[in-house]
Amino acid sequence: MVKPIVKDVLFLMQPSQPADIADGQTARDLADTLMAHRGHCVGLAANMIGVRKNIIVFLAAEMPFVMLNPRIVSHSAESYKAEEGCLSLNGTRTATRYQRIEVVYDNMMMKPCKGTYEGFTAQIIQHEIDHCHGILI
């Protein structure tokens, strides 16, 4: 179900709690909400739809890719400044991002997974993981 986007900065600055198997509907709602905004949005975190759970979703080959409890375990030495926007905030802001990241996460069945991401996809994941920690750009 498509959910409204939260714009309350005080809510968004609160760290999220770990996700578990009972959070499947939140993950599906998050994916539905991303697809409803896909023309101008490439990723969301659960707190952006009002749920303080460690869940993110981003577009991968035009389809939503969900990660529960994502955690960056390593990153490249190279970083860069990126100009980023956010559905929850007005305007754009500068953020420092790593070129390549390795992420561990749980899939929708709570099976542990690991992936390496580069470039724009890595940037999106870093932005959404920041949301889970209550960090806004």
**Contact of 68 with 54, CB cutoff 8 Å:** yes
Active-site residues, by number, are 128
> Which residues of the chain form beta strands (DSSP E)?
43-45, 55-60, 63-75, 79-86, 89-98, 100-106, 112-118
**Contact of 45 with 56, CB cutoff 8 Å:** yes
| Cβ burial, residue 101 (10 Å; 0-12/13-18/19+) | buried
**Contact of 124 with 103, CB cutoff 8 Å:** no
Determine the distance from the C-alpha atom of residue 15 to the mean position of all C-alpha atoms in its chain, rounded to a whole number: 13
